[in-house]
Structure 1
Amino acid sequence: MSKTIKIVDLFAGPGGLAEGFSSITKNNKRRYSIGLSIEKDESAHKTLLLRSFCRQFARNSLPKQYYDAISLNSIDEREVKIEELFRTYPKQYKVASEEALKFELGKDSEEILDSKIKSIVENDDEWVLIGGPPCQAYSMAGRSRVGGISSEDHRVYLYKEYLKVIAKHSPSVFVMENVKGLLSAKVEGASVFDMILEDLSAPYKIIKGTGVNNYRIYSLVKENVKEPKDYTINSEDYGVPQKRHRVILLGVREDIKVKPTVLKKHSPSINIEDVISDLPKIRSGLNRSFYRYEINQKGKSVRKYKKVKDSEVNWRTLMNSNLNELVKLNGFNGDDNFELNNSNYGTGGEYLEYLNQERKEIAHQSWYIDKQLKGVLNHKSRSHLTEDLKRYMFSTMFTDRYKKFPRMRDFKEYGNKLLPDHSSAESGNFADRFRVQKKGVPATTITSHISKDGHYFIHYDKTQVRSLTVREAARIQTFPDNYLFRGSRTMQYHQVGNAVPPYLAYQIGKIVLKILDV
């Protein structure tokens, strides 16, 4: 009989790694048991708690009350129903509340954490540590904003909280994820990546008074590592519909003599429309419109906006006006025109029924689709400035014609009125400020920046004129459709952008099983 392997998940976010590992089953029994998931963010923790609750039921056997709770459009009403759900199943909720821990590593009590981990592993010699220490300090974008990495930035050393757990509790295997920028990050001239590799190989040397276990560090994509980039996983090569490139380290305790295999590439790659084209079409919302400049008390010219009523009629009127204007620009012609009059899409919702729409097959059909779920979760569009919606429409038309999204120079070439009214618009620093997710290829990386404005994540369908919804981003990240993201919509986007793709984690989990199933 196959043993169930326990997992501790640090810096868990909304639970992408845990979802992948826990989805591996044999004879309908999960091969991994998530003993502890730790996350400091309140919204992500609520998402973790609900998903842990779901794992207490047999796979594909969630109670009807779960679907009743999540199939509501009001976030507040939904939260009330979820609390009722927890009270209806107190046993399952108790296990989930003990697993999903709201805790800040490096700040909250180490004694509490150590005690919890000890109670979970119970001297079990075979268990797995997973997680990804916060990566903002290592990201290229973060470093460019602050001019490099400061030795005073505590985030640089948060991996040592991960290291402490390895040193004190000696997992059989660990899986640690971080951004590609980690490979080139330096602090006071020293390579952060080299420092991390050395520390992870012999954690007891750093954390004094702990065990004596060394670890061998492996790449999941290269059998013979020759340079740091060999630890980078290009997710689009492994069935994930996005160009997400991340460093993932696999550590194996030195007493375990099994050499791990590497991930098998998927061919062909899965494109963005392969996983989101079946979702109900929705339009962008209307927010505000610029109407004049005013001089403020400091003598500076500032833009003033007025509220625009969001309605189907107003949206179609505005979009048709934009379309008529855009097709007359140099570079477009009548062939670029398209029909908007019969859209009647609506702006979606926290829950949106499919109604009579015919469900089409998508890639990874069995991975995403829950037949008990009669609609779509977290599928509501943003409201945008009317000026930005014109830029979105231009961007999708340009991408459709030239098979590449426009740069700022293209906006200027087609007419200065399209350029954003920012001092940096022509600086070259934000040349790809409006990025369309192109059909026929995997999406660009879904990052936490998607929570800001959506300009980098414009839907390829020029009739919808909007940025991606949370659910579309979640599909691109390979979260199953019944995975509910809790909190405000901004926080939902943030959770999705920070997560590890569960389908990638699923494949990694299978490699780990081969190490431990001996």
Structure 2
Amino acid sequence: MPLTYIDIFAGAGGLSEGFVRNGHIPVAHVEMKKEACLTLKTRNCYYYLKNNDRLEDYNRYLRNEITREELYGMVPHEILDTVIQETMNENGMPALFDTIDALMDVQNVENIDVLVGGPPCQAYSLVGRARSENNMEGDARNFLYQLYADVLERYHPRMFVFENVLGLKSANNGGYLADMTERFRQAGYDLDMRVLTASNYGVLQNRKRVILIGKQHEEGVQFEYPVIPEVGDVFNEYVVDDLLADLPALQPGQVNNHYAHDRTDYLRESGIRSEEDILTWHEARPTREQDREIYRHVINAWYQNDERRRLRYTDLPEDLCTHKNRTAFLDRFKVVAGNIHTSQTMVAHISKDGHYFIHPNLEQARSLSVREAARIQSFPDNYYFEGGRTAALLQIGNAVPPLMASAIATAVADTLEGENHG
């Protein structure tokens, strides 16, 4: 039976995508960034048109044959209205609740089954704290989980899923996590936490995330963390090249939205590319020639004689070492190696430069295209990111991989269905 859910701090919708593709119903998405909100609306259009046998209308938009306004005009406004552009803060919560209440009325939804979301992770991330002068103390984002608890108290969903970075465990010496856990318990929930690895769910990426899952407290009932189904050995034969092999070669600054080859088995089995898909966002950022020369050194160090050596910044020829900092972030240039099972973790910094995500092909000597980055996060090719290249990469870097999200959604649904049958 479909579950109703609210997605807060929704970003581009990676976590939500896992629930929607399992047939669940988004009552509201709350997100502060305009471009991400447009991405969510466009994704709503995709599902509405697909479910009404009008996928060609969506593909016309991807081919630039119709405008975004024309696309949105094909979809009932109440579907688009589920996306709420709002910066969540204490003062704005009453108005936000009024908006969500109105959406529930329009959709004839009486109860919310699940709350999902993860506050911005910069305040908890190890890199964010390392780059902050005061370890991000006093940053308001440290306490956004309190707003998450406010939503729990307002709507009393049967379960919740809270996602964040590994740094959450150590931020403020574990104080934020301890306070968060207590706050959620006060809201009426039993909960537990696991560190999940995306590659266990079919994602070709070495991404680890903290996933807290909570369930409404029941007297005398012991909460057990849901069993999240892993893919087992199904995807172990694949390597990162299987994500990239069908795409046309690009030079820095180029765009080519025409597939060069048929789908690989991985792309077909993961659902990342379907037969009817239109390629978008295969666009590479411009790159200085000096950086391209560094990229070539980094690629060669990995592939030459199959050494698989990660080049440190201080290993580069002296004339290419122009940064004064020779002690920190020495792995700032890193190839996305095509001959291993997982890439490095996709992060939001790719929106600023692509040095940490270098394409493995020596002749291209560029950073990943937007679509390649999206594929590493397991976004399907029919997922369109609104905004410019920088905005799209930021959305991708911050997202929960949809394949992992789908596994979480399955586990949550199984838990609640078991409760119904119990």
Q: How does the TM-score come out when normalised to structure 2? A: 0.91
Query: What secondary structure, in the 3-state scheme, does the structure 2 residue paired with 1:52 have?
Result: helix
Query: What secondary structure, in the 3-state scheme, does the structure 2 residue paired with 1:377 have?
Result: coil
Alignment match, 2:329: 430
**How much has 1:150 moved relative to structure 2?**
4.5
Indicate conservation of the 8 Å contact 2:31/2:37, yes or no.
yes
Match of 1:261 among 211, 215, 226: 226
Indicate conservation of the 8 Å contact 2:292/2:366, yes or no.
yes
Query: What secondary structure, in the 3-state scheme, does the structure 2 residue paired with 1:35 have?
Result: strand
Gap change, CA 1:62 and 1:242, over 3 Å in 2? farther
Match of 2:195 among 227, 232, 235: 232
Match of 2:399 among 499, 504, 513: 499
Indicate conservation of the 8 Å contact 1:218/1:251, yes or no.
yes
Gap change, CA 1:463 and 1:190, over 3 Å in 2? closer
Gap change, CA 1:468 and 1:232, over 3 Å in 2? same
**1:271-310 map, 5 Å:** 271-285=239-253
Q: How does the TM-score come out when normalised to structure 1? A: 0.74
Query: What secondary structure, in the 3-state scheme, does the structure 2 residue paired with 1:176 have?
Result: strand
**How much has 1:408 moved relative to structure 2?**
1.8
Cα separation, 2, equivalents of 1:34 and 1:495: 19
Alignment match, 1:144: 130
- Give the AA of the match of 2:319: K
Cα separation, 2, equivalents of 1:509 and 1:42: 26
- Give the AA of the match of 1:153: D
Alignment match, 1:246: 209
- Give the AA of the match of 1:474: A
**How much has 1:273 moved relative to structure 2?**
1.6
Cα separation, 2, equivalents of 1:262 and 1:283: 44
Alignment match, 1:450: 350
Cα separation, 1, equivalents of 2:19 and 2:54: 19
Indicate conservation of the 8 Å contact 1:395/1:406, yes or no.
yes
**1:310-349 map, 5 Å:** 347-349=254-256
Indicate conservation of the 8 Å contact 1:53/1:93, yes or no.
no
Gap change, CA 1:61 and 1:280, over 3 Å in 2? farther
**How much has 1:149 moved relative to structure 2?**
3.5
- Range moving further from structure 2, 246-255 or 145-154: 145-154
Query: What secondary structure, in the 3-state scheme, does the structure 2 residue paired with 1:146 have?
Result: coil
**How much has 1:62 moved relative to structure 2?**
4.1
- Say yes or no: does 1:388 pair with 2:252: no
- Give the AA of the match of 2:48: Q
Gap change, CA 1:232 and 1:409, over 3 Å in 2? same
Query: What secondary structure, in the 3-state scheme, does the structure 2 residue paired with 1:246 have?
Result: strand
Gap change, CA 1:482 and 1:275, over 3 Å in 2? same
Indicate conservation of the 8 Å contact 2:227/2:411, yes or no.
yes
Percent of residue pairs identical? 32
- Give the AA of the match of 1:409: T
**How much has 1:271 moved relative to structure 2?**
3.0
Number of residues paired by the alignment? 406
Cα separation, 1, equivalents of 2:72 and 2:213: 36
Cα separation, 2, equivalents of 1:422 and 1:147: 20
**1:119-134 map, 5 Å:** 119-120=102-103, 124-125=110-111, 127-134=113-120
Alignment match, 1:340: none
Query: What secondary structure, in the 3-state scheme, does the structure 1 residue paired with 2:28 have?
Result: strand
**1:393-404 map, 5 Å:** 393-401=296-304, 402-404=307-309
- Say yes or no: does 1:181 pair with 2:81: no
Gap change, CA 1:150 and 1:463, over 3 Å in 2? closer
- Say yes or no: does 1:513 pair with 2:416: no
**How much has 1:393 moved relative to structure 2?**
1.2
Alignment match, 1:82: 68
Gap change, CA 1:160 and 1:399, over 3 Å in 2? same
- Say yes or no: does 1:51 pair with 2:66: no
Q: Higher strand fraction: Structure 1 or Structure 2?
A: 1
Gap change, CA 1:369 and 1:145, over 3 Å in 2? same
Gap change, CA 1:475 and 1:150, over 3 Å in 2? closer
Cα separation, 2, equivalents of 1:511 and 1:23: 14
Gaps of 5+ in 2: none
Alignment match, 1:369: 273
Which structure would you say has the larger Rg?
1
Gap change, CA 1:416 and 1:151, over 3 Å in 2? closer
Cα separation, 2, equivalents of 1:364 and 1:109: 42
Indicate conservation of the 8 Å contact 2:268/2:274, yes or no.
no
Gaps of 5+ in 1: 25-29, 73-77, 204-213, 220-230, 286-346
Query: What secondary structure, in the 3-state scheme, does the structure 1 residue paired with 2:49 have?
Result: coil
- Range moving further from structure 2, 460-469 or 125-134: 125-134
Cα separation, 2, equivalents of 1:277 and 1:489: 22
Cα separation, 1, equivalents of 2:286 and 2:91: 38
**How much has 1:103 moved relative to structure 2?**
0.9
Indicate conservation of the 8 Å contact 2:39/2:384, yes or no.
yes
Gap change, CA 1:486 and 1:125, over 3 Å in 2? closer
Alignment match, 1:112: 95
Query: What secondary structure, in the 3-state scheme, does the structure 2 residue paired with 1:455 have?
Result: coil
**How much has 1:463 moved relative to structure 2?**
1.7
**How much has 1:260 moved relative to structure 2?**
4.7
Indicate conservation of the 8 Å contact 1:260/1:512, yes or no.
no
Indicate conservation of the 8 Å contact 2:263/2:273, yes or no.
no
**How much has 1:151 moved relative to structure 2?**
4.2
- Give the AA of the match of 1:372: E
Alignment match, 1:297: none
Indicate conservation of the 8 Å contact 2:32/2:85, yes or no.
yes
What do you get for the CA RMSD once the two structures are aligned? 2.1
Cα separation, 1, equivalents of 2:195 and 2:32: 27
